Amino acid sequence: MPVPVREGPAALDPLLAASDIVVNLLPLTSATRRLFDSERFGAMKRGAALVNLARGAQVVETDLLAALDDGRLSHAVLDVFQAEPLPAGHAFWHHPRVTVLPHVAALTDPRSAAELVAANVRALRGGHPLAHLVDRQRGY
């Protein structure tokens, strides 16, 4: 059954409860720091998987390991971590339900990056707004 489009913090837990795979691409803000903790994992559908490609600070690693160990979550695919590079002795390296990615979820294409830089240089010289900047009011 398709899940209706939802938004905002109040809609998150019902969406998690209905999702087989949760992909985190959120910016790191005060509202998203430690977002995925034992309470959030408890709200997720039993046997769901988490893919974190955003920021390591958004996942409480000990809570994630507990959710994997007790079967609440079936798997985690992680590209970012609390400590980077991931320490050699970290449990994620050896956990059977964790896939560690090499922190390259978003590779920069030199051609498109060069075009963006050139466009921003032209905009700067022309006194126009620059594209793709961090919005300091929003925190990302």
In Å, the largest CA–CA distance within the chain is: 58
Q: Would you please indicate which residues are annotated as catalytic (active-site) residues?
A: 55, 103
- Name the residue type at position 1: M
Nearest to 92 by CA among 125, 69, 108: 69
Q: How many CB atoms lie within 10 A of CB 68?
A: 22
Sign of the CA dihedral 71, 18, 58, 87?
positive
Angstrom distance (rounded) from CA 105 to CA 102: 8
- One-letter identity of residue 50: L
